[in-house]
Every structure is written in C-alpha cells, then in structure tokens.
Structure 1
C-alpha cells in the first residue's frame, strides 16, 4: 500500500515543481504604453526603497535584441535589483517585434517600456514606476556581473550624492584651441559613462527639470553627450567628482577589445565579435564631438562644475603568501 501511494503522488509532486520553476524563472512581460506623467512632479521619497535599485537599460538596436535579453536576465538575478526596465527608444521598430520579445527573469521582474521619442534625454526621466532611491542607467551592450553590480550599489549607498560607475573618462582644457577636450586618463577622472552608472533618482529630477534647457537641446541636436551632461549636473550640486569602482564587466560594443574579457574600472571595454555592433563611439569624430559638448555645457552653466577624482574603489584586497617552488616564488596554494 505504501509503495502504491508514493507512485500516485509522484506525478502530482513533479507537476507542482514544474509549475513553480516555470513561474519563477520565465516571465514574458507585455510592452508597456509610452505614457509619461508630468516628470517634474515632486518625488515622493517616502515611497522609495533604499535596499535595492532599479535598472534602466537603454534599448535601440534591433540586432542586439538577443544580447539585450541576456543582459536583462543577468541583472534580474541580482539580489540588489528591485526591477529591470528596458527603455526602447527606436520609433521605427514595429510593435509586433517588441510584442514578440520574451524576457527570462531570474528574480526581479523585467518590463519593456516604449518611449515616444528617441531622445537620449529620456534615459534620465524620473519615471513614476521607479520605486527605489538608486537607479542604474546602462547600455544594452554592456553586462556587469551580479557581484560587481551589488558592490557598486553598496558604494553608492555610502555616497548617495555621487555618481558611481565602472567606465571613466576625463576632461582637459586645450590652450591652443581655447576649448575643452574629452580625454582618457590613467590618473584621474571626472566623467562616468552611461555604459553603467548608479545615480540617485533625485538627479534624474535635477537633469529633467532644473538644468539649463539648452543643455538638453544640445543632447538632442548632437544625439550624444547625455552622460556628460549628467556628470555636469551632479558635480554642480556637490562640487565633487564621480566614483570609479572595480568590477567584472563585458562591453560588447568596444571593438578594441573583441574577444577579450574586460575588468571594469578601466577605460576600455571587452566583447565578442559576433555580438558587438558599432554605436555612437564608433564615429570617427566621436572624441572631438564630446569635447565640443563639454565646451557648450561650460557656456550653458556659466562655469566649469566638473571635478576630478583619483583612483578607484575595490572590493577588498586579498593577501596571498608566496612560497618557493624550484627557483620561483609562486602563491602558496600553487606550490604543490
């Protein structure tokens, strides 16, 4: 009798397990309407969570849809993430194409939001569906692993007034041209890129509702430089530079590092040739255009608010003893 009961219950038990796994690991999310309430309505801070962040992925290229789905899944698996929103900014994409997208969530829910325009300023709208104080603004061709994401969020929690991120740039003044340059420096930084940046929702409000309107117009005109404008906005408020953190990152859009794994906190990228596709940074005059943006933003603000930071924050330093192996010194755990 006992054996018979087990045989009868087993199919039902596995059916329940299968349904549970299906519900917790696979979720096909509907396309949300491109409706946005007044973005400059005051933020209700009491309703916002401080223990998690919201991930906003900027989506535009249909050829990167599979990569975007993969990245969204990775972010959804992090305990630090409350929700993931893909902000689709390509108006020429057919609605059916977006309806056919299926996201696989490993924890946090994933949503698709179609914006009414392709403006890069939309990346920083203080959207009403954001339920956290911290927001991670990122590209659809950059993947940060779960531990690194959680570390960046932890650093931000200790410095919520600053921008925290993995990809840094800097600015310098060109005396011969009497204009600002957009640079890469190994010793200092003043700009964190929207490849992946963690920022307070208050700065989304600042960017959308308080910075000079001419700055957002420049971003729309150039289809570039929204990240530089955000760094201007934050530095103007706190008179401090951004914070660069070390972490494991993959930048599928940087051709200089195709086939290489990148360690974040540097100034390069890494990716796979079969997934990468050129973006704004592929333009031959990209760096010059970015320098022109800095010069124009300087004029709009009437001063230069950008501030330099030095070094990077790492998640602990491992101490490793060295042992003699033959004529060489090697980590002790490798001597056998």
Structure 2
C-alpha cells in the first residue's frame, strides 16, 4: 500500500517540479537596458499590464551604498503590492565582476523578483527610461538611501490608485516667485508644495515615456540641461506631469519613512551614506532654482501647480495623556470606531 501511495504522488511531484522550473528567477543576473527604450513596439500592450501592483525602480550609483540598496530592495520584495524590483545601476566605473559578486552574496528576495539593469551612462534621465520589464500601470521611483516600511508603502499605493494621474510622494518641495528679483526660486513652504522628490514617488508608468520620448525638441533640450546640471530630473518630471493634468502632486504622510541621506541623521556610520548624495553640494538649492528658471524659459510657461494638505491614515486627538508612567498621545490609549480610515489633514 505504501508503494501505491508513493506512485500516486509521483505525477503531482513531477508537475510541481515543472511549475517551479517555469517560474521566473527571484534574482536575475546583470542585464543591459533595452537598446531602443522609446520604440513603442518593445513595450507591453496597455491591456496586458497590471493595475493591482506596482514596479519599484531603485537608482544606484555609489558602491558605498550598495549594502544599503540591497537591503532596501529585499525589504520591498516582501510587499504584496510589488510586482517586481529593478535596480538601475548607473555607475559605469563599477566593474561587472565586483557588482555581480556583491549581488550574489548579499541580495535576497522575499517574494517579488529583483533584477539589476546596468545603465549605459550615469545620466539622471536614465531612471525614467521606459522598459519592457515593467508590467504594471504604476511605478515607484526611489533613491538608494530611502526606505518606506511595508505598511506605509501599501497605503501610498492605495492613495495613488484613487489619483492615478497624479504623482504621489512623501518629500515635498516648492517653486516660488522671488518678487524682489523677479525670478523663480526653489524652496520649501510650510503650507503648500508643487514638487515631490524622487527620494520616493509613485506615478503612472506612461509618464516614463512622456519624459524620455515625448515633448519633441523642447524636452530634448530640457533633458540635456538635466545632464549638464547633473540635477533636477525630479523637478522636470513634476513639470511634465503638471503640464499634462494641470494639477499638483499628492503628499502622503509617512510615519515610518527612513532617510539615511538626511543631514539631520546623527547615528554613527551614516556619514558616508550622506556625503555621496547630490543634495549635499553647497550650491544644491541654487542649482535647482536655475533648473526651474530654465525649464520655465524653454517651455514658455509655468505648469507647476500648488497642492495644500496631505493624506494621512487616521486622525485622532493629539493631546498628551499619562500611560504607564509616560506621556503619550491620548489617542494611543483609546480605540476609535472608524480607526484606519483614510482622512485628509491640512498641514
């Protein structure tokens, strides 16, 4: 009888073995980008892409950040909303052997497949290139020193699905008009914003094509200016989207958003991660103001639109109450009947 049971299971074991062999590998070897990313024939048909998941695109350049980048990629792979992760390696000086060995020994996927695309240049425009590997309607553009916890990632994607034409992000900035000098500047406002950064932004996959392949001569000039400045690709993407929909971005509150590149970090060992960032240049804000002025000049108009407020997971009383000998927010020790619902809270 034991032999009969084993023989009955053999067809099932054989079929399962074939099934797992046909599954795509969770970790893909180094791959080059598509030869002609702007050829629409190479891109998936709109009816075949998924709307229930998104693709994560992580830009990588600094070898000192590789361990952090790989840890972030592994974390995102566990999210049920993530279809796949593409690491866009844009440092041409990194030896392929070195990169391959580092990936093989340190990269782990917990669900979504992870691929590494070796870019042909270090252009910041490359992070917006269309790719036939992207099989979702939405992409998340991320830096290699920012990590969003799974719950917050799920929440941000949920918000994007109700605002599919807009950019959704966590890090707001703004343009403004300096009346004394009669010129556009790059700044931060406490109560309004018109730009979200590529530290982490979710947007429609179609916008990659609009940025990289559309817009004719004007967009070619603007992408060239991004290369010249080695900055501002995120500002230009906000220009592109606002110009199409005449709306500003959506800001999401991130309770567990880790930014290793923020100068306010004080933990030992993070200084090296911060120092390689473009935003650490002394003239960073001036250069970005120069970008806004040039984009406005070439386009002949200012498409950026202000948004006001942010989306939060829940709203509760913020008074302090004593609990367990410590002061905590009062809403941490009470249960609200509609807790967890999405609300809008102004800044």
Match of 2:36 in 1: 37
Query: Structure 2 vs 1, CA of residues 60 and 80 (structure 1 numbering), >3 Å: closer, same or farther?
Result: same
- Report SS of the residue matched to 1:289: helix
Deviations 1:240-263 (A, max 9, x none): 100000112111111223349xxx
| Alignment match of 1:298 (pick from 291, 296, 299) | 296
Is 1:214 matched up with 2:212?
no
Task: Summarize the alignment of residues 277-292 of structure 1 with structure 2, pairs less than 5 Å apart.
Answer: 277-292=275-290
Per-residue deviation, 1:273: 4.1
**TM-score using structure 1 length:** 0.83
Is 1:307 matched up with 2:315?
no
Match of 1:224 in 2: 231
The separation in 1 between residues aligned to 2:212 and 2:63, in whole angstroms, is 27
- Structure 2: state its 5+ residue gaps: 1-22, 335-347
- Report SS of the residue matched to 2:110: coil
Match of 1:89 in 2: 90
The separation in 2 between residues aligned to 1:164 and 1:46, in whole angstroms, is 23
Per-residue deviation, 1:107: 1.0
The separation in 1 between residues aligned to 2:140 and 2:126, in whole angstroms, is 14
Match of 1:117 in 2: 121
Deviations 1:165-187 (A, max 9, x none): 00010011112332211001110
Residue-pair matches, total: 300
Root mean square deviation of aligned Cα: 2.6
The separation in 2 between residues aligned to 1:237 and 1:332, in whole angstroms, is 41
- Structure 1: state its 5+ residue gaps: 1-23, 261-270
The separation in 1 between residues aligned to 2:119 and 2:185, in whole angstroms, is 32
Task: Summarize the alignment of residues 1-336 of structure 1 with structure 2, pairs less than 5 Å apart.
Answer: 28-41=27-40, 43=43, 44-100=45-101, 101-102=103-104, 103-211=107-215, 212-247=219-254, 248-259=256-267, 272-273=270-271, 275-318=273-316, 331=330
Per-residue deviation, 1:39: 1.8
- Report SS of the residue matched to 1:256: coil
- Report SS of the residue matched to 2:54: strand
**TM-score using structure 2 length:** 0.80
Q: Check the 8 A contact 2:55/2:134 in 1, yes or no.
A: yes
The separation in 1 between residues aligned to 2:331 and 2:306, in whole angstroms, is 39
